[in-house]
Amino acid sequence: MNNRREFIKQTGAIALAAFSPSLAIGTEQRLLPTRLIPGTDEAMPIIGLGNSSSFRADDLSVAGNLIDIFLEHGGRYIDVGGSSAFSVGKLGQEKDAADKLFLGNYVDPKEDSAMRNDVVTIAKAQGKAALDLIHTRNTGAYRTQIDKYRALRDEGLVRFIGIARSGQQAFDSIAGLVESGLVDFIQVNYSLVEPVAAERLLPLAKDKGVAVTINRPFQNGNFFSLIRDHELPEWAAEFDCESWAQFSLKFILANSAVNCVLTETANPKHAVDNLGAGFGRLPDESEQQKMLEHIRNLI
């Protein structure tokens, strides 16, 4: 089995399409399926990019290659934080793709003018009239300072606001924000290894019309340690699954509350493999349960 952390710096997007034939029909590239952002007529492709190490390290060659692959297959959402907001923003403008990309930014609550200055500075770097999304990991401060986030949205400086966290311990706080109508987006962890969000939080978000993005689809790589030396079950082919990465991603995408799952990699081959999960059939409820049981038997 290939090590998914193996780093490949230079591979062309066309060659990568050949690496995964499911992403192409003849010479025509297939575009990712989309789901509507609740309460809007705006479509979101179901596979996104997390905050890749190539973005954080300002490795523009690798980052640019990843973004080219992503855009070629209709990708939009990229999660950016810290310096990534600027490196990805720069690449988006250089590729004349600023309006195509939907960037999830991080802006923590602070003094009003400082928050506004941060937003304006990032928007300029990303070539946007308004930031697509700003969120914070601080659920408590977000609730107490919600007026600042709403003001930025009401002034047209940002389009959506919300919370991004991982860890089951934050689910109750996030659920409270969802129930109170304080978020447009939530980003949480959900996967075969961490399925708890499906019990209450994801159904609640769907019921309240809140968009959901998913982080940690591979539990920061632990998923691959778990399945190392195990063959992908033959029955995975029944829902068009070609790899262990797709096995995890298809399970996540089978939940209708999920708008987009964020895949984080600096490896172009893995990026193509991840994108492949967006195509073909998704597992039904009985198949999802079978997937869960299969993984639990490996633990």
Question: Is 23 among the domain residues?
Answer: no
Q: What is the C-alpha to C-alpha distance for residues 48 and 213, in angstroms, rounded to an integer?
A: 9
Question: Is 128 among the domain residues?
Answer: yes
Cβ contacts of residue 71 below 8 Å, gap of 6+?
95, 97, 100, 101
Q: What is the pLDDT of residues 95-141, one digit of tens each?
A: 999 999 999 999 999 999 999 999 999 999 999 999 999 999 999 99
30 — pLDDT class (breaks 50, 70, 90): confident
pTM for the model: 0.90
Average pLDDT over residues 70-86: 95
* Structure token pair of residue 234: 């033959």
Please check whether residue 263 is in contact with residue 249, taking contact to mean a CB–CB distance below 8 angstroms.
yes
Pick from 34, 56, 65: nearest CA to 272: 65
Give me the domain span that covers residue 277.
43-296
Q: What is the C-alpha to C-alpha distance for residues 112 and 226, in angstroms, rounded to an integer?
A: 46
Question: Is 209 among the domain residues?
Answer: yes
Please check whether residue 187 is in contact with residue 211, taking contact to mean a CB–CB distance below 8 angstroms.
no
Question: Is 118 among the domain residues?
Answer: yes
Question: Is 126 among the domain residues?
Answer: yes
Report residue 133: phi and psi, to 5°: -150, 135
Question: Is 155 among the domain residues?
Answer: yes
Q: What length does the chain have?
A: 299
CATH number at residue 65: 3.20.20.100
How many structural domains compose the chain?
A: 1
Question: Is 8 among the domain residues?
Answer: no
Q: What is the pLDDT of residues 231-272, one digit of tens each?
A: 999 999 999 999 999 999 999 999 999 999 999 888 899 999
3-class state of residue 192 by DSSP = coil
Question: Is 269 among the domain residues?
Answer: yes
* Structure token pair of residue 174: 């996030």
CA 14 centroid distance within chain? 23
